[in-house]
Amino acid sequence: MSDFYQNNNPADLLAQYGSPLYVYNEQIFRAQCRAMRAFCPYSHYAVNYAIKANSNLSLLRIAREEGLRADASSPGEIVAALAAGFPPSEIFFIVNNAAPDELKFAMEKGVFVSVDSLSQIETFGRIAQEKDAPVNANTPTQIESLNKFAQGHGVAATGEVLAGAIVGIEREALSSDLVKREPSPVSGAPHPIAIRFNTGIGAGHHKKVVTGGDDTKFGILPRDIPRVKELLAQYNLRLVGINHHIGSNYAQEMYLVGARALIDIARQFEGLDFIDFGGGFYIPYHKLDGEKPFDLTPVGVELAQLMQDFSAEYGKPLTAMTEPGRYIAAECGVLLGTVHATKQMGAVHYVGCDVGFSVLARPTMYDAHHDIIAYNASGQPITEYPVSQAPHDIQFTENRGAFRLTNVVGNQCETGDYIAKNRSLPPLQPGDILAIQDAGAYGYSMASQYNLRARPAEVLIKKSGETELIRRRDSYEDMLSNMT
Ligand SMILES: Cc1ncc(COP(=O)(O)O)c(C=O)c1O
């Protein structure tokens, strides 16, 4: 994307919508959705967008338009996905340590659930039995078996709920008759469930985001498979899918190491319909140092081959799913903030701005790096990067002199409140604008009201170049509204 702002100027955006401000570029978001859909050239492949990365409804609607399904990690994300138009059957609820009410909520909405501990299989099983919960399906195989079950029990089955549940290419396989019929879920059939496993393989850009292996709370270990089978039988549950997520933003070859290990687990179960290999896809956060995007093609081709081979061995085509969050949303987002103070503390230059860790938590939480491009108060870039290394075509208009190592800090009452440490930046002054790059994922979605600071607004630069406010800034009334 050569022109992120599409004729909008950062200073004008801040003047119109206030500072700090999350700005998203629709075309970049769409391009990332498409790249992920093209990632795995396998006939039964579906992409579930990990809502946790960025749950703005406008972006969720675009993800849906681009043919993605949704991965929700909480009831709130289920509600957001439904509000954005995803049918329940296209929402996969991958939950960790859920309250019984949360599982019940998902079941009542007709959303498909994955649990990740033996005790949660039991909780889920009890709820499914107590409620004699209606059963939906999300693959043609499930529809077929539900239909058979329904016929045998004299009840109607299938319908829109089922039709909406078909993933990717399989949707076309449905007859229009099936699509038109009213939903009428079946009671008493084995309740479908998915399980998240921990194959022992984990990877990530920081130890806090490694979600496989010994040092993590996630997933069921392979040694517990015999007990899993007992529980499935005991609670009349049918394991239709297995999944894992080994971590986030890591060397992509690990994705395949994890995929092979998960397929080994799939071998130990009959009747599966899908394998979900999780998210974690890498994006380059150091573009100003010349870092280029990772070529995912060989990984996707290899994954497709693994699935083709395994489907042949398994005796039916299993659906392969991925769950990208960061890859879809990170690069479409820039966080604009304003410099309000500068300070010299011994040898250290400080630039104080309005982007605290309540607005962007990643640097404080994970020591994460975000490139920063500096603009003057009129929105002209002052950062003197070689244009070839800049992420967007920038005409540099001002040279403030020699760069110096600078700590960019926010306005929160914590020493840990920083956006960049020892970053080489030109001398900055109050009124300058900081454009924090690649902030679309785990930016706003991790924002808080710490220190009772308002969460910022979010703006979308549409294909046409027009801007649209897609979430307004918190008002003081908002911040006080749910307190007595
Ligand atoms: C279960 C699950 N799936 C998908 C994701 C998305 O990961 P990423 O944003 O790295 O693609 C996460 C992130 O925490 C996750 O926990």
Query: What CATH number does the domain containing 255 carry?
Result: 3.20.20.10
Identify whether residues 460 and 377 lie together within a single domain: yes
Identify whether residues 196 and 148 lie together within a single domain: yes
Identify whether residues 94 and 110 lie together within a single domain: yes
Q: Mark which of 281, 296, 328 sits at the end of a domain.
A: 328
Instruction: Write the DSSP symbol of residue 222.
Output: G
Identify whether residues 149 and 257 lie together within a single domain: yes
8 lies in some domain: no
* Per-residue tokens: 80: 């957001």
Q: Is 92 in the pocket of ligand 1 (CB under 6 A)?
A: no
Ligand 1 atom nearest 330 alpha carbon: 9
Atom 2 of ligand 1, nearest CA residue: 245
14 lies in some domain: no
256 lies in some domain: yes
Atom 10 of ligand 1, nearest CA residue: 280
4 lies in some domain: no
Per-residue pLDDT reduced to its tens digit, 115-174: 999 999 999 999 998 865 555 565 556 666 556 655 655 544 444 333 333 333 333 334
Q: Is 324 in the pocket of ligand 1 (CB under 6 A)?
A: yes
Q: Is 205 in the pocket of ligand 1 (CB under 6 A)?
A: no
User: Per-residue pLDDT for 262 more than 90?
Assistant: yes
Active site residue 33: no
> Shortest CA distance to 56 belongs to which of 328, 338, 245, 283?
328
Per-residue pLDDT reduced to its tens digit, 362-403: 999 999 999 999 999 999 888 655 544 555 555 566 778 778
Atom 5 of ligand 1, nearest CA residue: 279
User: How many domains in the chain?
Assistant: 2
Atom 16 of ligand 1, nearest CA residue: 245
What integer pLDDT is reported at residue 210 of this predicted model? 81
Per-residue pLDDT reduced to its tens digit, 270-289: 999 999 999 999 999 999 88
Ligand 1 atom nearest 279 alpha carbon: 11
The parent domain of residue 428 ranges over 331-480
User: Per-residue pLDDT for 57 more than 90?
Assistant: yes
* Per-residue tokens: 114: 């994955």
What integer pLDDT is reported at residue 170 of this predicted model? 39
What integer pLDDT is reported at residue 138 of this predicted model? 57
Q: How much distance in Å is there from the Cα of 414 to the middle of ligand 1? A: 28
99 vs 174: which has the higher pLDDT: 99
Q: How much distance in Å is there from the Cα of 405 to the middle of ligand 1? A: 33
Q: Mark which of 303, 328, 353 sits at the end of a domain.
A: 328
Q: Mark which of 328, 355, 376 sits at the end of a domain.
A: 328
Q: How much distance in Å is there from the Cα of 257 to the middle of ligand 1? A: 17
What integer pLDDT is reported at residue 200 of this predicted model? 85
213 vs 162: which has the higher pLDDT: 213
Q: Is 281 in the pocket of ligand 1 (CB under 6 A)?
A: yes
459 vs 148: which has the higher pLDDT: 459
Torsion, Cα 251 255 256 261, to 10 degrees, reads: 130
Q: Is 247 in the pocket of ligand 1 (CB under 6 A)?
A: no
| Mean predicted lDDT score pLDDT of the chain | 88
Give the domain CATH number at 345. Answer: 2.40.37.10
Identify whether residues 368 and 284 lie together within a single domain: no
Label the pairing between strands 274-276 and 319-322. Answer: parallel
User: Per-residue pLDDT for 181 more than 60?
Assistant: no
Q: How much distance in Å is there from the Cα of 48 to the middle of ligand 1? A: 10
Q: How much distance in Å is there from the Cα of 325 to the middle of ligand 1? A: 6
What integer pLDDT is reported at residue 189 of this predicted model? 80
Q: Is 50 in the pocket of ligand 1 (CB under 6 A)?
A: yes
5 lies in some domain: no
User: Ligand 1 pocket test: which of 73, 206, 283 has the largest number of ligand atoms within 8 Å of its C-beta?
Assistant: 73
Identify whether residues 287 and 370 lie together within a single domain: no
Whole-prediction pTM: 0.88
The rounded distance, in Å, linking the Cα atoms of 438 and 51 is: 17
Q: Is 246 in the pocket of ligand 1 (CB under 6 A)?
A: no
The rounded distance, in Å, linking the Cα atoms of 35 and 207 is: 27
Neighbour-count burial for 206-234, b at 16+ CB within 10 Å, e otherwise: eeebbbbbeebebbbeeebeeebeebbee
348 lies in some domain: yes
Q: Is 212 in the pocket of ligand 1 (CB under 6 A)?
A: no
Neighbour-count burial for 63-85, b at 16+ CB within 10 Å, e otherwise: bbebebbbbbbbbebbebbbebe
Mean pLDDT of 197-204: 87
Q: How much distance in Å is there from the Cα of 100 to the middle of ligand 1? A: 23
What integer pLDDT is reported at residue 1 of this predicted model? 41
What integer pLDDT is reported at residue 162 of this predicted model? 39
Mean pLDDT of 5-15: 96
Binning pLDDT at 50, 70 and 90, where does residue 216 land? Answer: confident
441 lies in some domain: yes
User: Per-residue pLDDT for 212 more than 60?
Assistant: yes
Ligand 1 atom nearest 324 alpha carbon: 11
Q: How much distance in Å is there from the Cα of 481 to the middle of ligand 1? A: 31
Q: Is 219 in the pocket of ligand 1 (CB under 6 A)?
A: no
User: Which of 46-55, 198-207, 358-367 has the least mean pLDDT?
Assistant: 198-207
What integer pLDDT is reported at residue 160 of this predicted model? 35
What integer pLDDT is reported at residue 149 of this predicted model? 56
Q: Is 326 in the pocket of ligand 1 (CB under 6 A)?
A: yes
Identify whether residues 277 and 350 lie together within a single domain: no
The rounded distance, in Å, linking the Cα atoms of 85 and 103 is: 21
Neighbour-count burial for 433-461, b at 16+ CB within 10 Å, e otherwise: bbbbbbbbbbbbbbbeebeebbbbbbbbb
- 70 near 91, Cβ under 8 Å? yes
Q: How much distance in Å is there from the Cα of 281 to the middle of ligand 1? A: 9
What integer pLDDT is reported at residue 394 of this predicted model? 53
11 lies in some domain: no
Identify whether residues 357 and 229 lie together within a single domain: no
User: Per-residue pLDDT for 205 more than 90?
Assistant: no
Per-residue pLDDT reduced to its tens digit, 220-235: 999 999 999 999 999 9
63 vs 206: which has the higher pLDDT: 63
**In the structure, how many helices (H) and strands (E) does the chain have?**
15, 17
Q: Is 8 in the pocket of ligand 1 (CB under 6 A)?
A: no
Binning pLDDT at 50, 70 and 90, where does residue 208 land? Answer: confident
Per-residue pLDDT reduced to its tens digit, 400-444: 877 889 999 999 999 999 999 999 888 999 999 999 999 999 999
The rounded distance, in Å, linking the Cα atoms of 477 and 473 is: 11
What integer pLDDT is reported at residue 186 of this predicted model? 56
Sign of CA dihedral 252, 254, 259, 262: negative
The rounded distance, in Å, linking the Cα atoms of 355 and 337 is: 6
User: Ligand 1 pocket test: which of 71, 93, 94, 323 has the largest number of ligand atoms within 8 Å of its C-beta?
Assistant: 323
